Each structure stands twice: as structure tokens, then as C-alpha cells.
Amino acid sequence: MTFGTQFLTYPELFPARLAGESWGSQSLYLRLAGADYALTGLSEIQQAAISVRFGALCRATATDVAAELHLYQAEAEDFLGIPYPGWAYSLDCDYQPQHLRLAGLGLMARLELAPTWRGGLWVPTADAQMVADGTLENILRVLVAYRLLAQGGLLLHSAGTVRDGAAYIFFGHSGAGKSTISRLNLSAGLTVLSDDMNALVWRAGQWWVEKLPFAGDLGQNAVDAGCYPLHGLYRLVKAPHHALHPLLPARATASLLACAPYVNQNPHLLDSLLIEANRIVTGVTVAQLEFALDSGFWRCLVE
Amino acid sequence: MSYRKVSSVRYRRLLDEGIVIQQAAGEVLALNATGLRVLELLDTGHSLEATVAQLAAEYDVLPATVAADVRAYAAELQAAGILEPGTP
């Protein structure tokens, strides 16, 4: 299928560069995975909605901006409706060596990758809809995934929990048990980072987990930052009994790659993604956790 | 019979094992050393028969010993969307 035809009325008119009329002159900085992302071209309503949504992660100034995302105006008639009944949310991506084009429900985005790290998001309303419906967050997830990889980190589809000061990351596809294990950990009084997306970053000679404001089924109450040393990565597999099994390097790397969203479908990034995943595998525990859907799994990890 | 790799599939050797990425679907598989070798041979222009002969030589066994396994494995890779019939 040709890029954009599922979502755009005129895919051939997709913006060829970062240009257009902004929704406003407001801006703010968002702290994500230890870096500041500039959001510019915002209307006052959009800025206020982002401030409410991302709370303590928003700031008025930044010293070192990792990437900039500018909001541009689009016309409502530029976009088609929901593709078909029962459609599951997805983005259409066009991968180029230096940039990405993205089309989705009510959005067009163009992300210029290294070295500029500038992007544009075209949406059809000046109001808070693009915050409420997740449009902005879905583009930020993509931008963070690419930026992290370029910095030697990885965005992982995973549930993160802090125990005794260290982060345990449980990764796997939808249905593997990430939200279930997060609920169990919350009930046990542990700190849950995200039940959907966590950032692995290499800093000061070790792997860390940065809390991200990207939650899944569990939702998110407090939106704040946090950074914890990584204890280990555990691939979740539902099973009748809890058990922990080592993963051979290739299987561990393959498992991580499968849960590295957005970047793992970009043919231009395969080798850098492999390098980072393999670096993680050789540096920390990566194992398979057979998970029987109760909190007894901790015995496999801490005893 | 010959196979070729589906165009959206990439694979890499990692130590003695292989990683296969189906980028269109975002799915990733790990192959053991023998599986990776079969994929490499088929993807570099070896027919199924030539792949059997090459593997037999590398493992120092009779072709008949590995033929059925190689054919079955190639069929598995095809069913998984990694290989398709044709010349590379």
C-alpha cells in the first residue's frame, strides 16, 4: 500500500519539509528519558493541555535540547476517518535514511533524524484534542525511540518496577502479562515505572532505566521523572508455574529487538539496533521469566 | 528447488547463532547455528539440493542423512514468511 493512503485524503501532498503555519507561538520543554524535548508552535490551549498531561515533566527553559517538535496547522479535510470497524491504532511509516514520514488518524508528522533532530506534527485543530486522543504522545514515543537509539539506549515495550532501589524490566508483546505484573507490584507497594514503555540508557558505565510518561492499560497517576540502576531484563511468558530460565545471546537479543518498537521496523537502523541490543545482552541479566500471574515470581528473581 | 529471502526480512550472524528480523511485522526470531547456515546457503543462490550437499560436507555426513531435515526446515522458513520460492 502506498504511504499515507490509509489515513490521508491527499497523500501526494504530504509535507516535503518542515514548514507551514504554526498553531501558535507558545512553547515548552518536556523532560523525557533524561533529555529535554522542545515542543513549539503551540496554541495556548495546546500548551495548557500538555502541561496538565505531563505535569512535572514540563519546564519553561532547557539548556540542552535533544529534539524539537513543532506543531503545524492542517485542514480537517486532509484526513480520512477510522480506516475500518475494529481498526487497531497504528501509524503508517515511510523510512528514509535521514528522516521519517508518519501518517495516522488525524495526523501527519515528519521527523528529521540526526544530526538535526527536528520534527513537525500537522494536526487539524488548535484545541486540546491532540493531547486528549494521544496524537502527540504517539509521535513523542516514536521520537524518543529514535533519539534513545542514537544515544546508545533503547526504548523497550515493557513493564518496569523498582525494588530495593533497582529497576526490574519485564518485557514482552501485548498480552504477555506486563499490566498484570505491574498491578501485582503496585498492590505489593512497589514503585511501578510504566506498564508499557521504559527507557534503557547507558550512563556512567552502567545501564539505567528512565521512567517515561507512556503508560498502557494501567494508566498513570503521577507523571514524574525517575532513574534507577537496571537489575535485569526479564522476558515474560505466561505459564502454569513460575520459573526463570537463561536466554542464549541470540535469543536474548532477538527478544529485545522484538520489543524495541518503532525502530525495529526501520531497515536503515537494523545494524545499530543489533549493536545496542547485543551490548545490553552482554552487560546485564537477560532471562526468560515464566509467569503464573501471581506475585510468587519474585522468589525466582531475588532468592 | 530454490528459495530466496523475502525482501522485508533481514538477518545477521551473532556469534554462532542467527537473528532474523521480519521488519514489515516487527517480529524477530533467533536461529541456531545450523538453521542460520541453511538460511545463508539458500539465500546465497544454493538450490535445496546444493544446500543439502554443502551441509552434508560441512558436517561430514551423507546427504541422505540431512536431506529430509533441510527440506522440512526450508518449508518452515517459508511458512514463517522468511523464505519464498525462487532464485535469490
Is B21–A264 a contact, with Cβ atoms under 8 angstroms apart?
yes
pLDDT at residue A116 above 80?
A: yes
Q: Give the torsion through C-alpha atoms of B66, B70, B73, B77, to 10 deg.
A: 160
> What number is the ipTM of this complex?
0.72
Share of chain A above pLDDT 70, in %: 98
Phi-psi domain of B85 (left: phi exceeds 0; alpha: psi -120 through 50; beta: other): beta
Distance CA A246, CA A230 (A): 17
A103's grid cell = 501518517
Which whole number is the average pLDDT over A17-42? 96
Q: What is the tens place of the pLDDT at every residue in B26-84?
A: 788 899 999 999 999 999 999 999 999 999 999 999 999 999 999 999 999 999 999 99
Chain B residue numbers with beta carbons less than 8 Å from the beta carbon of A258 are 26-28
pLDDT at residue A222 above 70?
A: no
Name the 3-class secondary structure at B84: strand
Question: What is the predicted pLDDT for the residue at A220?
Answer: 66
Greater confidence (B87 vs A159) lies with A159
Tell me the average pLDDT of chain B. 91
Window 251-280 of A, Cβ < 8 Å to B: 251, 253-255, 257-258, 261, 264-267, 270-271, 274, 278
Q: What is the tens place of the pLDDT at every residue in A57-100?
A: 999 999 889 999 999 999 999 999 888 888 888 999 999 999 99
Question: What is the predicted pLDDT for the residue at B86?
Answer: 85
Share of chain A above pLDDT 90, in %: 83
Which among A172, A168, A147 is positioned nearest to A272, based on CA atoms? A147
Which whole number is the average pLDDT over A168-183? 92
Which whole number is the average pLDDT over A266-293? 93
Distance CA A90, CA A105 (A): 8
Question: What is the predicted pLDDT for the residue at A174?
Answer: 81
Inform me whether the C-beta atom of residue A48 falls under 8 Å from chain B C-beta atoms. no
pLDDT at residue A296 above 90?
A: yes
Residue B88: pLDDT band with limits 50, 70, 90 = low
Total-model pTM: 0.90
Inform me whether the C-beta atom of residue A222 falls under 8 Å from chain B C-beta atoms. no
Q: What is the tens place of the pLDDT at every residue in A38-55?
A: 999 999 999 999 999 999
Q: What is the tens place of the pLDDT at every residue in A118-138?
A: 999 999 998 888 999 999 999
Tell me the average pLDDT of chain A. 94
Question: What is the predicted pLDDT for the residue at A257?
Answer: 92
Tell me which residue in B18, B20, B23 faces A265 most closely, judged by beta carbons. B23
Chain A residue numbers with beta carbons less than 8 Å from the beta carbon of B29 are 254
Distance CA B56, CA B54 (A): 5
Chain B: residue nearest A264 by CA?
B26
Selected for mutation to probe chain B from A259, A274, A280 (highest B CB count within 10 Å) is A274
A69's grid cell = 517538535
Amino acid identity, position A39: L
